[in-house]
Structure 1
Amino acid sequence: MTYTGDVRVGGPADVRELSALTISKLAVGPYDNNAYLVRCNETGDGVLIDAAADADRLLALIGDQPISKIVTTHRHHDHWQALERVAGVTGAAVVAHPLDAPELPVPVDQEVEHGDGVTVGVVSLEVIHLRGHTPGSIALHHPGHLFTGDSLFPGGVGNTEKDPKRFEQLFTDVSERIFNRLPDDTWVYPGHGKDTTLGAERPSLPEWRARGW
């Protein structure tokens, strides 16, 4: 079946097969968060992006194959409610940016900065630091595929709580670190809701800047 990224809480994961990776997207409650399981096709190693909630469903998605890491894209509680349990059951290392790490419910095993890599088997996911939604928000990039947490959605950047300085920082980072260097066919996997592509969003950048959110 063709991957669409359209998932609902309580429904099945949507699975995408790439040459090097398999991506499974699952919606979890109560805040309709997206969690992503990324597996290396060569080794079977896995990385879970945002253990947001519904630990039992996330553990069922992971199944019997190991995962080596759980990446938390940012500090907001709706993105880590299942982190302690999933990390405890799987033994996976907890990964986050150092500016958001102190807010997580468990110690962070690997702190990552802009430009670092998060390995999943023989593949390395590039860490992109996107400041503004939270100080330590990160995205993960594999060529053609971008996991953006709550920093980029269809229709705009993440919530900066009407703070003009935070909005300007996030808009600048998203513009310079994502749109200025990645191609239009890059698929965007956000922390909530439907997926998009950079090409679909690029024409709206001037509108986003003008409206300030």
Structure 2
Amino acid sequence: MAVCCYVASCERSGEAVVIDPGGDEERILDYVQGRQLRVRYIINTHCHPDHCCGNGPVRAATGASIVMHEADIAYAADPRVAGYFAMLGLPASPPADIAVVDGDTVSFGQETLTVLHTPGHSPGGICLYSAPHCFTGDTLFVNGVGRTDFPGCSYERLVESIGTKLFTLPEATIVWPGHAYGGTSSTIGREAANNPCL
């Protein structure tokens, strides 16, 4: 479903995280193994199955722990939500191993990602910030924002999240979106000035 998966690594230690493995598990694992990286964590920016259907195979191959916001752990466990997203026909993720909240950090080697809780596309949507980079999942795209017509979504909360958590970051912050519908990267300043959905 054209999900952008990211592998972030520490050059000194070789430790890494995989962000949103939404399929193509063999390609992800080939990339990791080819660079001799040790994956410590699989981080999901949200629990929608297009962003976490690869969690099981990647965890089985690497032993990494699955990280998700506590609100999305509860959201994904709701049978009504699970039934709704089952129509996508994608494999469900194993349960998360680690629950995070706003302000938590995820460290691998000498690198650290800060969790920014950005609800709207899902109750527990998060972005991951390590200056000058921000992995925005389905909160903010290039020239777009995440859908808000799913159960548990809210356009008002999404806009508030973007305004208070993302547009307060330095303008030069690089945006790495969850889907490349409008492009593969942008900056916070460019999106704040030009994003037609805002």
Q: TM-score, normalised by structure 1?
A: 0.78
Question: Cα distance 1:40–1:134, how it changes in 2: closer, same or farther (>3 A)?
Answer: same
The whole-number CA distance in structure 1 between the counterparts of 2:97 and 2:150 is 33
Q: Which residue of 2 aligns with 1:185?
A: 172
State how many pairs are aligned.
176
| Counterpart residue number, 2:187 | 197
- Distance in structure 1 (CA, Å) of the matches to 2:54 and 2:98: 18
Deviations 1:20-48 (A, max 9, x none): xxxxxxxxxxx111110000112110000
Aligned to 2:98: 110
Counterparts of residues 11-160 of structure 1 (less than 5 Å): 31-63=1-33, 64-102=36-74, 103=76, 105-160=93-148
What are structure 2's unaligned runs of at least 5 residues?
Answer: 77-91
Task: Confirm or deny: 8 A CA contact 2:9 2:111 kept in the other structure.
Answer: no
- Cα distance in 1 for residues equivalent to 2:158 and 2:106: 22
Q: Secondary structure at the match of 1:108?
A: coil
TM, length-normalised to structure 2 = 0.84
The 1:72/1:186 distance shift into structure 2, 3 A limit, reads same
Q: Which has the higher contact order (CA 8 A, sep 6+)?
A: 2
Map Cα deviations across residues 120-157 of structure 1 (whole Å, 9 max, x no partner).
Answer: 21221000011110001110000110000010011132
Cα deviation for residue 75 of structure 1 reads: 1.1
